[in-house]
Chains A and B, each alone.
Chain A
Amino acid sequence: MAVEQDQILDGLTKGEYKFGFYTDIETDVIPKGLNEDVIRMISEKKQEPDWMLEFRLKAYRHWLTMKMPRWAHLQIPEINFQDIIYYAAPKQKAKLASLDEVDPELKATFDKLGIPLEEQKHLAGVAVDAVMDSVSVKTTFKETLADLGIIFCSFSEAIREHPELVKKYMGSVVPYTDNYFAALNSAVFSDGSFCYIPKGVRCPMELSTYFRINAANTGQFERTLLIADTDAYVSYLEGCTAPMRDENQLHAAVVELVALERAEIKYSTVQNWYPGDREGKGGIYNFVTKRGICKGDYSKISWTQVETGSAITWKYPSVILRGNNTSGEFYSVAVTNNHQQADTGTKMIHIGKNSRSRIVSKGISAGHSNNSYRGLVKITKGAENCRNYTQCDSLLLGDKCGAHTFPYIEVDNQSSVVEHEATTSKIGEDQIFYCNQRGISTEDAVGLIVNGYAREVLNKLPMEFAVEAQKLLQISLEGSVG
């Protein structure tokens, strides 16, 4: 019977990566390698002010003193940082009539990815910042949002136009000293999105960033900074894809969220970087630092992530609950198939009194993959009456994959309550047969069961994306489940 199940699993894992194409567009690249001159070159290309270059150099010098983290449950091959191109910008062809225009070639690329850059064609109520390789290609609905005082633009533009905000908040949640990849990102980051929601404004549309790696031998290092001022609200979504290549490519991003008093930030990710082929060749190394701070009282930050791509994922979207009565949430579905590896989870750091956090993690492993949940719940001495609830489920498809859980709980006072629940299950043969008997094929049955399993998390995504994410889950597991 076990053999049968393996066959079913094998058959199921023939899923193809749908975004693996490459756009042949002229690209402005700098030579391979990493040193202070390269950092100066990046800064110069972006015509940055001195303070920005200083920040980069400080980060770089610090990075040189650091070592690659080896504590995760991951097999990470040696990365030659001198063999990576740190800046690649698609060249916009010819002269465009207005600044708002986008090279047709680039437009076609994003069309193909289902991300139209013309506002009228776009999903109603979603504004997009489209980033390809090292630069932001286009940000839609900028003017509409500006009427409300909302700033939504590329990070480069924010450095030019809103230096006071960038200076104040950049590195305030994830300092460049934080970890190896955050330091690297701080030194070489090229673009990303910036968003500021002023006092009392509820952002009327979903904001989103779409990241696309296109050029070969490059790394992508983007940075996102999102600030919700007092009583502001914003829902933000990021998506990402990359071409299929045999070499691994490095993606090391930093995301910082700042929520002031009574502000609320909802941040959703659908991560679909190229995962490598069935034998584990190629794919993106996704080493990302995401952290938010609930700075003001009664503020709230909620992370939702659907992780299906990347060869290796190292990622822990966290919340520092500094204000009193703040709330942090982490909802995650992480799928690994074939030879993918993921070590992902969250940190909830309770500093404010009466702060609450909720963690719902659903891991799904198939093929020869390894999927780990790693989470820290820390309640400091002064953080009285705090509450955490953690639910951590693993679903195994097949018998060659692994699911691991590494929960860390530190509670330094008597008045707080921490709960942790964990389950591990396999898709039952009897569940599949039940579906078969109703006329549903094994592949569809697995999709149905997996989506049911992940539903609590998928329900947290904005509606338009929940459907996409559902399809993505199914595709990621095609040919993988039993």
Chain B
Amino acid sequence: MLIIRNLKVKIEGKEILKGINLEVKPGEVHAIMGPNGSGKSTLASVIAGRDFAEITEGEVLFDGENLLSMPAEERARKGIFLGFQYPVEIPGVSMVNFLRTALNEHRKYKGLEPVSASDFLKLMRQKAELVEMDSQLTGRSVNEGFSGGEKKRNEIFQMAVLEPRLAILDETDSGLDIDALRIVAKGVNKLRSPHNATILITHYQRLLDYIVPDFVHVLYNGRIVRSAGKELALELEKKGYEWIKEENEA
């Protein structure tokens, strides 16, 4: 589904990603862990198509197509979803209007008719339940006045409505209390299927107690320095990132 080969990325002249290789297949959950500044969020943004970095080498393929030449909205319509670390506020734009516009763009891309107002409201209600989101929130402006936890839950809610094939969740667990974390994880788990895949970007092991990954990768200094099964996360938790740093600088 997603193949990344030797991806090198510079931001303002500084090399942030130094040759990333990664393959994600349908049905898989990958966790990418690593200390601050290792390039995790850059990787997520580059896959989603944020136009802020210079790609100097390598390729990213999605279903065999070159992702890097597509604008962000086209990638989204093809089924790539980014759960933002810091979701932005859009004052005056209601969640209903925003998400309906988004969903209809996805449907148009697939050659489907726009969703009717009543069907859409039904869908909103149903998906809001999934993430135990207060239906009041869907009547408000996008992320405006949402608490940190509400914003994160709102990301998973949008993911539930748009049903992406590849979801990249960037530090979705950060700033969540344990109840919110459980709810977010439950949402992600419910949406898991043999047809879609998830990349979890996280700092801590605790999210992985709730969403069990098939693979864990450690990103350090712009490279994936270690890949293994879920046990790697536990090892990291025990030994800390110092262990990786020492190993790679030795």
Contact = CB atoms under 8 A, between A and B. Distances in A.
A439 B92 contact: no
A47 interface: no
A454 B93 CA distance: 10
B92 A438 contact: no
B91 A437 contact: no
Interface residues of A, number: 24
Contacts, number: 76
B73 A449 contact: no
A430 B84 CA distance: 11
Contacts of A439: 73, 76-77, 102, 105-106, 109, 162
Contacts of B81: 437
Interface in B77-111: 77, 81-82, 84, 87-88, 90-93, 97-99, 101-102, 105-106, 109
A437 B92 contact: no
B65 to A, nearest CB: 16
Nearest to A4: B51
A438 B93 contact: no
B88 A428 contact: yes
Chain A at the B interface: SS class: helix
Interface string A1-29: 10010000000000000000000000000
B92 A456 contact: yes
A437 B97 contact: no
A145 B93 CA distance: 38
Contact of B73 (A1, A441, A454): A441
Interface in B52-67: 52
A391 interface: no
B141 A452 contact: yes
Interface string A424-458: 00001011011111111110100011011111100
Interface of B: 48-52, 71-73, 76-77, 81-82, 84, 87-88, 90-93, 97-99, 101-102, 105-106, 109, 141, 158, 162
Given A438-B158, A440-B105, A452-B141, 10 more contacts: A1-B52, A435-B73, A436-B76, A438-B98, A438-B162, A439-B105, A441-B71, A441-B73, A448-B98, A449-B93
19 contacts: A434-B84, A435-B73, A436-B72, A437-B48, A437-B50, A437-B82, A438-B102, A438-B105, A438-B158, A439-B76, A439-B77, A439-B105, A440-B102, A440-B105, A441-B71, A448-B93, A452-B92, A452-B93, A453-B91
Q: 9 closest pairs, A vs B, by CB?
A: A452-B92, A452-B93, A436-B72, A438-B102, A439-B105, A455-B92, A439-B76, A436-B73, A439-B77
